[in-house]
Amino acid sequence: MGGAAGDALLGRFVELAGAAAARVVVIATASGSPETAEKAYLERFHALGAGEVRALRLTSRAAANAPEAAAVLRKATGIFFTGGDQERITGVLGGTATDVLLHELVDSGRVVLGGTSAGAAMMSGTMITGGDRTGVAADSVRIGPGLEFLPCVLIDQHFAERGRLNRLLSAVAQYPHELGVGIDEDTAILTGNDGFEVLGSGAVTVVDAGAAADIRVPPAGPIALAGARIHVLPAGCTFHLTGRRPVTGPPEPERERAA
């Protein structure tokens, strides 16, 4: 979720986690004030019908390596990461027993992993950790490794709202094997076997620099990027990672096409 997620998106997460049978764990590691963030999401998930909701406070690597954390996570059907600073998530959880367990639980299909804003960014193979939006250049973006729940994908969030296309272009021009995925606020990608479906009120902008015929990245100054592909995908669209191919939804009814 690209930040500012509404009830429709959070409700879908609860539903996927089992609705009344869901056991949701909220992790606010990214937040500077985890207590506030936990409280807000516990209330919202309760209101949206989740059976059980609890917070798991992980603000140190010691906590993330403790058996208590694993015990809580093993009982979960849904795990949700709040927004904040994605580098707090990688710094506190990266390489810990919690990190390993989360991958195990997600890979086995035993939990639904959700996150918004920083909680979405950290799922990337490579995440954007900062950068301005003036110009496409090597120094217009800072990147770092994410927790790699989505390898070969580079997620940016609050995408349209903060005018972040240039920083996403700056990142994928340097690493064209990473697919750039910019998620608007109140918008999400729901990942499946080979790609994702778009949900929510905004759009997901996909930048495929793998298609570029020529890319030149000088150490300073503007990048040249020729022939990249861009897709703007609102709810209902899907994207296949194999072949990097968008599908914009079912064809419109004949009567509309004839109008």
Q: Which residues bind a second copy (CB under 8 A)?
A: 133-136, 160-166, 169, 173, 184, 201-203, 205, 207, 214, 216, 221-235, 237, 246-249, 252
Residue 236 CB, nearest approach to a second copy (Å): 8
Nearest to 50 by CA among 25, 23, 27: 23
Nearest to 92 by CA among 55, 113, 64, 130: 64
Task: Compare residues 107 and 214 and give the one whose CB is closer to a second copy.
Answer: 214
List the catalytic residue out of 52, 87, 178, 185: 185
Q: What values do phi and psi take at 237, rounded to 5?
A: -80, 155
Contact 230, 205 (CB under 8 A): yes
Tally Cβ neighbours within 10 Å of residue 11. 18
- Is 240 one of the annotated active-site residues of the chain? no
The amino acid sitting at 22 is: A
Task: Compare residues 75 and 229 and give the one whose CB is closer to a second copy.
Answer: 229
Contact 166, 139 (CB under 8 A): no
- Is 178 one of the annotated active-site residues of the chain? no
Task: Compare residues 94 and 131 and give the one whose CB is closer to a second copy.
Answer: 131
- Is 185 one of the annotated active-site residues of the chain? yes
Which residue numbers are catalytic?
117, 158, 185
